[in-house]
Amino acid sequence: MTPSALLWLTLLIPLAGALAVVLLGRHPNARESATLAAATALFVAVAAVYRAFDAGAVMTVSIAEPMPGLPLALSVEPLGLLFALVASFLWIVTSIYAIGYMRAHHEENQTRFYAAFAVSLASAMGVAFAANMFTLFIFYEALTLATYPLVTHAGTDEARRGGRVYLGVLMGTSIGLLLLGIVWTWAVAGTLDFRAGGILPAELDPGLVAVLYALYVFGIGKAAVMPFHRWLPAAMVAPTPVSALLHAVAVVKAGVFTILKVTVYLFGTERLAATPGIDWLLYVVAATILLGSLVAMTKDNLKARLAYSTVSQLGYVVLGAVLATKLAIAGAAVHIAMHAFGKITLFFCAGAILVAAHKTEISQMRGLGRAMPITMGAFLVASLSIIGLPPAGGMWSKWMLALGALDAGHMALVGVLMLSTLLNIAYLLPIPVRAFFSPPPAGSEPTGLREAPASCLAAIVITAAGSVALFFFVEPVRRLALSIVNG
């Protein structure tokens, strides 16, 4: 199979999976088998793309050219490949989890759920392999629209309100700010192609470069930089598998990935690092990191706490992008993978607790570790990864980001990373400690194990094990991330 055909498959497989899900909607077992088959086939295709890219193949696909000089096209580079590998693998695991969760929770409209999920993954692949900013914008918007039915899945007034906030913030920022930045980039550069070292003309005034970069940072609303973060906690009304999609598989990762890609391939790291007038963005991102953690500490609802944790953790990736040093960019790319495995595990655990114990508030989880030891053990492992402690992979990305901040001469930002780590400990570790070591409320002592369905439990174990594996076998991820800036 030709390299170009492999790229086509990364789009066509999830779309074919969505069609199969719709056609098999009346047959749940066949429908879910089609979902798993599509997810597995997509990961195999992305892995084949990785092997071809690693062997030196140049992969490009031209889909269409709506306007001269503005093609819809795909190509492969290390950052997009890392994002695609993480998203495609986690689709398999999320599908396994969703089968147990959706059935145990007796969710309605499951065919629509699985179909929209597959279309969302096709959009994520388009974002990952976009050859230019025009293509990325088209698939970025498609991802927003494809995930909207998932956010509003429950059909309640609360779900519809959450969906309006979700759509309003994401579409408002992308059309009002991001699209303006894209048009401006086209006007000054004459192209939107992604190129190593950037595409902006050398004579462009540094002040205008700073303003243009700010349009991208705030216009890419999926990165949830404050004050454009409200869509993320609002979307927590969705079922837990959707939360996993939003936080780990596609949506927020598409946001921070896009900021990294814009930084490296439109502006260029050297150009950005030498541009005065962007330091204020570092303070905005630092505030997002700290405020997200502080708000998380105030939330008793588990999913709400995890949502604000994600706002904070996304700030790490954006911080690495704005620092624009090689180590910071590589650390930000590694954090995309590390956070994906850690946070998806935490959301899987939250859903398992809801399904098996019917609890949503942290204050209700005293003694729960006795009834759900596997779930709460996995929660502990994933918490260590989000905090950045061994033996979990999140340690390496935070280590690289701290070195990147030192390399850029921003000692205060190293302090922000350390303070954020302490806040991570404060809002995450008490949950498993309370579950394992606090006595259950009087009259609610657990009577034996009551873990979630087997498929949910299998997914939880896989992603928790992945967080540990990424600590011991980080080198392939680190090498791919460093190749983003080393060429």
pLDDT (0 to 100) of residue 247:
67
**At residue 446, does pLDDT exceed 70?**
no
Which pair of tokens denotes residue 191? 């192209």
* The predicted structure's pLDDT at residue 442: 66
Segment 337-364 shows an average pLDDT of 91
Extract the tokens encoding 214. Answer: 């700010």
For the whole model, what pTM was predicted? 0.93
| Type and span of the H or E element at 479 | helix 475-486
Phi-psi region at 36: left, alpha or beta (left = phi > 0; alpha = psi -120 to 50):
alpha
Query: pLDDT tens across 366-392, in order?
Result: 989 988 999 999 999 999 999 999 999
Instruction: List pLDDT tens digits, range 11-27.
Output: 999 999 999 999 998 89
The model's pLDDT over 390-445, given as tens digits with 9 standing for 90+, comes to 999 999 999 999 999 998 889 999 999 999 999 999 999 999 999 998 888 766 66
- Mean pLDDT of all residues in 76-80: 94
How does DSSP classify residue 277? T
What are the tens digits of pLDDT across the range 105-131?
777 788 998 999 999 999 999 999 999
Tell me how many degrees the CA angle 237-243-248 measures, rounded to the nearest 5.
160
Query: 64: helix, coil or strand?
Result: strand
- Residue that wins the pLDDT comparison between 105 and 228: 228
Residue-level pLDDT at 337: 93
Whole-number Å distance between alpha carbons of 313 and 340: 10
* CA 397 distance to own-chain centroid: 15
Q: Enter the tokens of residue 399.
A: 């280590």
Rounded CA-CA distance 399/91 in Å is 28
Instruction: Give the dihedral sign, CA 251/135/122/460.
Output: negative
Cα–Cα distances (Å) from 468 to 35, 167, 382, in that order, read: 27, 35, 9
Q: Render 139-189 in DSSP notation, one character per residue.
A: HHHHHHHHHHHHHTTT-SHHHHHHHHHHHHHHHHHIIIIIHHHHHHHHHHH
User: Which pLDDT band holds residue 96 (cuts at 50, 70, 90)?
Assistant: very high
Instruction: Give the 3-state secondary structure of residue 448.
Output: coil
Distances in Å between the Cα of 411 and the Cα atoms of 277, 318, 416, 419 are 18, 17, 9, 13
The amino acid occupying position 450 is: R
**Residue 262, Cβ neighbours under 10 Å: how many?**
26
pLDDT at 487 over 70: no
Query: Is residue 48 a contact partner of residue 170, using CB atoms and an 8 Å limit?
Result: no
pLDDT tens-digit map of 284-319: 999 999 999 999 999 999 999 999 999 999 999 999
Q: Omega of the bond prior to 373 within 30 degrees of 0, cis?
A: no
Tell me the pLDDT band of 263, cut-offs 50, 70 and 90.
Answer: very high
Residue that has been written with the tokens 């795909």 in this structure = 74
DSSP 301-313: BHHHHHHHHHHHH
Tens-digit pLDDT profile for residues 175-210: 999 999 999 999 999 999 999 889 999 888 889 999
Mean of pLDDT over the chain: 91
